Amino acid sequence: MTSSTSRYSDYDPWAWLYNRSEAHLALQGLMPLLDKLLFPHLPENGQILDVCCGTGQVSKQLIQQGYQVTGLDGSEKMLHYARENAPQGKFLLDDARSFTLPSTFDAAISTDSSLNHIMSLDELQQVFQNVYAALKQGGRFLFDLGLENRYRNIEVNDGELQADYAWTVGETYDADNKTGTFTITLFQPADSDASPSLTNSDKRSHSIPQRLKRFVYNRVLRVLRPGLLPQLIDKYWQSLPMTFTAKPYSQAEVRAALEVVGFTQVEVYDFRARRATPQRKDYAYFLAQKPSGQA
């Protein structure tokens, strides 16, 4: 196991919100992609390693498909929810950059751009090496990454408004250092002692106008004008900003790092499981194979 000082334990505060909302968004469309690209190559009841598994919603879906799943994440709080969401899975607290597992897995996955949180190409290559070592001969590794044009400078590019919480996310990108950040701000009702009006505010949140406001934002404005959300949040709600760094990579960099550690048949796809051209620079799925006959 890796110590908490070197794991990605900074993601612990994000765990509640990720489990409550964002993990379900990330899951949309993923299972059909796995059904096309990965499942046809796996044996019945095969072993899958879920790298950077987060709160376990993907692991849960894989288990329901009949696979045996081991999830790995550096956040203890994320794994708390993962064990609740997928009690039949096995979950390990460890760092993707330094874990060691025996070669027992038919496949490995990493989803929701988790590997963009690996902040150097050398460390990303080490993740690939660790995954390679954990795969059986012929095993496959499927993961997604944000590419060179993934990150932008935008104050609010998504959000959600619910009766008892809201969140926004914004991005920055430093082109010189090729480093992005994204800031997730969680809004929740203030403590009742700090806000005497909380009871009335809570009642208002369930009124017809408030429910209509949530419906309009989540179904319409979230797509057309996401930046309006801060204006719609109750003034008594407190905010908790959480900022994380991210590193985009090019297709060529990722392909080379995979091949250095021994992966072959590296293929690149878009989010609809269609082959991506080398010119694609926003977002992609990578599928690589450990050759048969390789220890």
Give the strands of the sheet with 154-161, arranged side by side.
154-161, 166-174, 179-189, 237-246
CA separation (Å) from 191 to 92, 185, 195, 196, 201?
34, 17, 6, 9, 12
- The answer to whether 270 and 285 are in contact (CB under 8 A) is yes
Beta-carbon contacts of 223 under 8 Å, excluding residues fewer than 6 positions away, are: none
Res 23: pLDDT: 87
Terminal Cα distance for the chain, rounded: 23
Distance CA 245, CA 274 (A): 29
Q: Are 255 and 233 in contact (CB under 8 A)?
A: no
The tokens describing 247, both together, are 């590193």
pTM of the model: 0.90
Place of tokens 């269609």: 274
- The predicted pLDDT at position 293 comes to 75
Domains along the sequence of the chain with CATH: 9-148+249-289 (3.40.50.150), 154-246 (no CATH)
* pLDDT value of position 267: 98
- What whole-number distance in Å separates Cα of residue 19 and Cα of residue 15? 6
* pLDDT averaged per 10 residues, the chain (length 295): 50 93 85 96 97 97 97 97 98 97 98 96 98 98 97 95 96 95 94 46 70 96 96 93 96 98 98 96 97 75
| Contacts with 249 (C-beta within 8 Å, 6 or more apart), sequence order | 116, 121, 124, 145, 147, 148
What the block records as the tokens of 45 is: 């009841």
Could you tell me the two tokens for 19?
């489990």
| Cα 108 from Cα 85, distance rounded (Å) | 19
Indicate the length of the chain as a whole number.
295
Token pair listed for 294: 């390789």
